[in-house]
Structure formats: C-alpha cells, structure tokens
C-alpha cells in the first residue's frame, strides 16, 4: 500500500528535532518524523519510549522545549488541542473520554453543536460519516451501553466531524479483542483510501505489519528506525525497538506436573464487582506446585476481581479457597502471611507508597514484625540494612534506600515490589503462591526479562504462579497452561504449548461456549465470531 500522492508534496505533518524534557528524563530527544497524505504511519516503541510524548506534542498537549512542528510545510505552534483541531489534527485517546449517560450525538455535539437540542443538529452528519467509513455508529445510542470498540469508533467520529486530515490513534488496539481489531483495521483502510493520514501507536508488531505503510521506531526518546512496512519483518522491527535481537521462543519447558501436589484450589468462587454486578460466576481454579497458569481476557471480564478475591482484597459472595489443603483466611495480611504474594496491577497506586522511601516501601508487608520492629517500635537500622540487602539481591537501581520510590523508574519500582513479595524476610521459604497481574506492563526489555526469570525461579522452587496479563505473547512464553476470563467465568485452562494467539483471542471474544449463550462485546463492525470445532484444546476442562 503506497501513498496516493507524489513524493514532491510536503508532508501533511512533520516534526523536526523535537526535544521535550521532564524532570530527570528526556522524553523526546531530537525526534524528527513526517507523515504523508494518505498513509498510515506506525509509531512503534516499548512503553516509555516516548510515543505518548510525541503525540502529545502533535496534539498540543505539550509544548516542545526545542524543535519545530510543520503542517503542509509551514511552521506552526500548536499550543492547545483546539489549535490542533483547527489545523486538522485529531486524536483518538486510548481510553475513550465520553459522557456515559449521554447519547452518542450529544457527546459529539460537545464543543460543536447548537445550544438547543445539540444532539439533533449533528445526528444527520454522524449517520452520513458513519455509513461512509463503515463505522456502524447509532447517534441515538447511550454511550454507557456501547462496547469498548464502539466507544472508540465514536471517538474516531468526533475527529471526523471536525474535519481532521490527520488522525492519531493512541494504542487503539489495547482495549479490543483480536476480532474487534479486524473491524478497526477496515475503518482505517477506508480513511486511508479517502486520503486522510493516520498515526498508529502500538507496541504490537503483528498489527504494525498488517495495517501500516511506514514505521518510525522510538527507543528511549530517540528515533532509532524509519522504514517502509513492506519488506520489514517482526525480527527487524523488534531489533530496532529494543536494540538487539529478541527471541520469540517459549521461555519455559513445561515441567511434569502430574505428580505435583495441588497448592492453591478455588471452588465455585462468586463475587460482585464494585458496581454490584456479578464479576465472578462460579470460578474453579487449581494450581499445582511449580505450575504457572496464565489468565488471558479483555480487561473488565473479572480478572481483577479474581486476583483481589484470592489476595483477600475483595469480598467473596460464595465458594471456597484452600492453600495446601487448608482454608485460606479472608484478610489481606493473614493471606500474605500464609504465603500468598501479590504483585498488583497498579504498582503506583496500590503496590507502593510513592512518597515514601525505598526502604519503607520494602517494609510494607513486614514492618510490624521482627527484625523490623519489636513491641510496636520500629528499628530504623534494621530497616535500612534489610533494604540495602534487597537492593543488592534484586538489583534495584536507586540513589539510596532513603530515596522516595516515586523518583525511580517503573522497572525499579516493580523490583521493589518483587523484592518485598518474594524476598522471604521471615525465612520461611518464601511465597507459596504468587499472584502476578500485568507484572511487566511498561517495563523495558531488561526489566521484563528479570521479572520473568524471577517468576520462573519461584515456580522452580515449588511456588505456583497465577499470571494475569494482557500480553498474549507473555502468557504464551511463560505459562504452562492458559485460562481465559470471559464474563466472570474462567474458561480452560488450555495447554500453553499448543495454544495459539488466534485460538485464545477467539475465546476472549466469547467464541467459546458460555453458559448464558449470548456473545458480549461484539458490536457492529466486528468480524463475526464463531466457535469452530477445531479450536485448540477445548476438551481439557477444569473439573477438579
């Protein structure tokens, strides 16, 4: 797929040597890139590579410290999103920013409709554009009833209504099932045919190869590669992205677990979400010593509740949980003390206290126990020496143990959590169960590998690991078996050695048999979802 225009026309959007600094980091270091009319440009990079900063500069959310922005070859200053829209640049945010109680039309009339009955005035335009690009959006629908994919299409419509020529899609596939991604790509193709330019942000190589014309790769704030997509391969792109060749092999040899004792068993777990709706509907789960079980699923299908229930942070409506055959307590502290470590989804808001020092964060679990304190009095010397030991063992890079943890990088914050959860301060042999939720989200390759190694080592020592991740590659590389959370039920597990991305993706989208029969989250524009008889390993059920 090549550009419809000749190469002599100036790019519709160009950044020249844009630098943006934040305290302690250079988010963008002399970034230069351009976008031609009618092309899809991939902005590829790991989390933290500076992709978000680039699009924030394009959309007027940040002002660059240095460098130039050009639109149609003219230098411009984009001081605000309003100015960006005037220049024809629109952004589809990663998480839709819509008013849930209002209709689609009312949402899109915000900032553009008339004062009275704002929804009516734009409804016609919405239908027209929606048909033209195959978006399948009903202007009268309530936003609260839309699937993530549909909300995203509403956001695309918002930009189209403003007449943008450049559309920036910020990690648009991260909230979608593989099938919904197909629908999005169709829409992107229509937009490209119409001569509009798209910036597609992603760190998923397969998607980039499938939909884009050209790739600009960012690493640590710098542009490290720029190539036409045609002719590129996963390996060449990955090398540009991480700076060395990466293997996509399975990291793990599945151990023989038949003889291993069951460590964690959960039977018929029932729980409500924070909004009072059923979040877990009879989940059964069994983890053997040494086993790593992956949990896949589109966010919001009950994964968070499952982990929180197991960690004692969420009320259980029904069901039993046992650890080594003994009923597990229902209090976060006693559960940890009986050997359940928890690497939480949100390492800033739950896993650490960002304003506190590295040493105090390392003590979050054991602060009240010897040697860290005796009789309610804390021993600050023991606190520091324990922290220094952990910093060495887990290779945490920090100016000192007294440094506030918020000043550390995501990888080092994650290492603090790992050290605390798996560090075995009490000398009882460490965690028996590890609940790890998105443990490598936002980490660079080096830190990711260390996290993976730590989890596999723990499994090698006889712990069992429940690994919840949105990254199917990670699940396939680490797990012995993979289960899928769908609408509050845990489907599977399926043998990870033979599972495929496509097979798991189909089950995530509700393609497998589910008890209430109705497929959820499949909005208009999705690929049709069908459960084929040849899907992998449906037969290996989980009846304990």
Find out whether 12 and 35 touch, Cβ atoms under 8 Å.
yes
Tell which residue, 476, 8, 22, 90, has the closest CA to residue 252.
Answer: 476
State which residue, 334 or 426, has the beta carbon closest to other proteins: 334
CA distances to 22, 127, 129, 452, 524 from 134, rounded to whole Å, are: 41, 10, 8, 42, 9
Number of Cβ atoms within 10 Å of the Cβ of 448:
21
Phi first, then psi: give them for residue 296, nearest 5 degrees.
Answer: -100, 170
Among residues 404 and 531, whose Cβ is nearest to other proteins? 404
Q: How far apart (Å, rounded) are the C-alpha atoms in residues 541 and 539? A: 6
Integer Cα distance of 130 and 113 in angstroms: 18
Nearer to other proteins, 25 or 141 (CB): 25
Q: Given the complex with other proteins, which of 334 and 530 has the nearer CB atom?
A: 334
| Cβ proximity to other proteins, 118 vs 351, nearer residue | 351
CB 365 within 8 A of CB 421: yes
CB of 303 to other proteins, least distance (A): 17
CB of 402 to other proteins, least distance (A): 11
Closest CA to 148 of 522, 491, 402, 399: 522
Tokens of 263: 């460590």
Q: Which is nearer to other proteins, 355 or 428 (CB)?
A: 355
Beta carbon nearer to other proteins, 77 or 114? 77
Closest CA to 88 of 35, 9, 31: 35
CB distance 307 to 497 below 8 Å: no
User: What does residue 44 show for φ and ψ, rounded to 5 degrees?
Assistant: -110, 140
Give min distance, CB of 54 to other proteins, in A: 20
Interatomic CA distance for residues 66 and 214, integer angstroms: 25
Question: Facing residues of 222 across strands?
Answer: 219
Q: Residue 110 or 368: which CB sits closer to other proteins?
A: 368
Closest separation in Å from C-beta 467 to other proteins: 19
CB of 407 to other proteins, least distance (A): 6
Planar angle of CA 126, 129, 130, nearest 5 degrees:
75
Q: Hey, is 128 helix, strand or coil?
A: helix
CA angle, residues 493, 443, 480, in degrees to nearest 5: 20
> Based on CB atoms, which residue is closest to other proteins, 98 or 340?
340
Residue 258 CB, nearest approach to other proteins (Å):
35
Summarize as ranges the residues that interact with other proteins (CB under 8 A): 22-24, 63, 311-313, 331-334, 336, 342, 344, 346, 349-356, 360, 363-365, 367-368, 373, 376-378, 380, 404, 407
CA distance 53 to 314: 36
Q: Which is nearer to other proteins, 248 or 367 (CB)?
A: 367
Minimum Å gap between C-beta 321 and other proteins is 16
- For residue 94, the tally of other CB atoms under 10 A from its CB is 17
Q: Which is nearer to other proteins, 171 or 421 (CB)?
A: 421
Classify the phi-psi angles of 38: left when phi > 0, otherwise alpha if psi is within -120 to 50, otherwise beta. Answer: left
Answer yes or no: are the C-beta atoms of 527 and 179 closer than 8 Å: yes
Give min distance, CB of 406 to other proteins, in A.
8
- For residue 108, give the nearest of 87, 92, 84, 131 by alpha carbon: 92
Can you name the residues that pair with 433 across neighbouring β-strands? 340, 464
Nearest Cα residue to 26 out of 50, 44, 58, 8: 50
The pair of three-digit structure tokens given for residue 356, joined into one six-digit string: 């506190």
Instruction: Name the minimum Å distance from CB 121 to other proteins.
Output: 36
For 122, left (φ over 0), alpha (ψ -120 to 50), or beta?
alpha
Reading the block at residue 484, the tokens are 């899928």
CB of 443 to other proteins, least distance (A): 20
Q: Where are the alpha helices (DSSP H) in 31-134?
A: 51-58, 81-86, 104-109, 118-132
Least distance (Å) between residue 180 CB and other proteins: 30
**136 vs 524: CA distance, rounded Å:** 6
Q: Shortest Cβ distance from residue 232 to other proteins (Å)?
A: 37
- Closer by beta carbon to other proteins, 17 or else 380: 380
Residue 373 C-beta: closest distance to other proteins, Å: 5
CB of 363 to other proteins, least distance (A): 8
Residue with smaller CB distance to other proteins, 303 or 514:
303
Q: Which is nearer to other proteins, 355 or 397 (CB)?
A: 355
């Amino acid at each position: 797929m090549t550009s419809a225009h000749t190469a002599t026309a100036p790019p519709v959007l160009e950044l020249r040597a844009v630098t943006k600094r934040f305290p302690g980091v250079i988010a963008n270091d002399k970034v230069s890139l351009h976008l031609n009319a009618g092309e899809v440009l991939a902005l590829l990079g790991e989390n933290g590579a500076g992709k978000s900063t680039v699009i924030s500069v394009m959309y007027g959310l940040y002002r660059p410290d240095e460098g130039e922005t050009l639109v149609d070859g003219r230098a411009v200053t984009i001081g605000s999103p309003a100015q960006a829209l005037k220049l024809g640049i629109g952004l589809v945010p990663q998480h839709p920013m819509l008013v849930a109680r209002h209709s689609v039309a009312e949402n899109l009339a915000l900032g553009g409709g008339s004062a009275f009955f704002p929804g009516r005035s734009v409804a016609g335009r919405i239908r027209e554009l929606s048909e033209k690009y195959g978006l399948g959006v009903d202007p009268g629908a309530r936003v609260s009833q839309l699937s993530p994919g549909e909300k995203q299409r509403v956001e695309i419509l918002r930009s189209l209504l403003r007449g943008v020529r450049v559309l920036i899609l910020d990690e648009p596939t991260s909230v979608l099932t593989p099938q919904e991604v197909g629908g999005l790509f169709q829409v992107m193709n229509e937009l490209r045919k119409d001569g509009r330019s798209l910036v597609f942000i992603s760190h998923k190589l397969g998607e980039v190869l499938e939909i884009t014309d050209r790739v600009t790769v960012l690493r640590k704030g710098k542009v490290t590669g720029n190539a036409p997509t045609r002719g590129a391969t996963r390996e060449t792109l990955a090398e540009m992205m991480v700076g060395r060749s990466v293997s996509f092999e399975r990291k793990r040899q599945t151990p023989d677990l038949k003889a291993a004792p069951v460590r964690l068993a959960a039977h018929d777990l029932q729980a409500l979400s924070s909004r009072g709706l059923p979040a877990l509907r009879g989940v059964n789960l069994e983890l053997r010593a040494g086993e790593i079980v992956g949990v896949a699923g589109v966010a919001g299908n009950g994964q968070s509740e499952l982990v929180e229930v197991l960690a004692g942070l969420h009320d259980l409506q029904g069901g039993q949980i046992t650890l080594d055959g003994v009923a597990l307590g229902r209090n976060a502290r006693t559960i940890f003390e009986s050997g359940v470590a928890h690497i939480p989804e949100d390492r800033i808001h739950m896993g650490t206290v960002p304003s506190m020092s590295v040493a105090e964060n390392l003590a979050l679990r054991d602060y009240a126990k010897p040697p860290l304190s005796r009789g309610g009095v804390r021993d600050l010397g023991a606190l520091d020496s324990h922290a220094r030991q952990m910093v060495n063992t887990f290779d945490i890079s920090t100016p000192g143990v007294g440094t506030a943890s918020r000043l550390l990088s995501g990888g080092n914050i994650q290492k603090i959590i790992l050290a605390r959860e798996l560090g075995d301060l009490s000398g009882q042999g460490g965690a028996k169960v590890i609940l790890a939720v998105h443990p490598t989200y936002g980490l660079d390759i080096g830190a990711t590998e260390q996290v993976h190694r730590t989890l596999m080592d723990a499994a090698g020592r006889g712990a069992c690991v429940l690994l919840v991740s949105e990254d199917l590659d990670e699940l396939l590389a680490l797990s012995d078996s993979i289960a899928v959370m769908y609408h509050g039920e845990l489907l599977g597990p399926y043998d990870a050695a033979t599972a495929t991305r496509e097979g798991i993706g189909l089950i995530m989208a509700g393609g497998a048999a589910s008890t209430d029969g109705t497929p959820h989250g499949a909005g208009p524009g999705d690929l049709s979802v069908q459960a084929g008889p040849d899907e992998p390993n449906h037969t290996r059920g989980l009846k304990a």
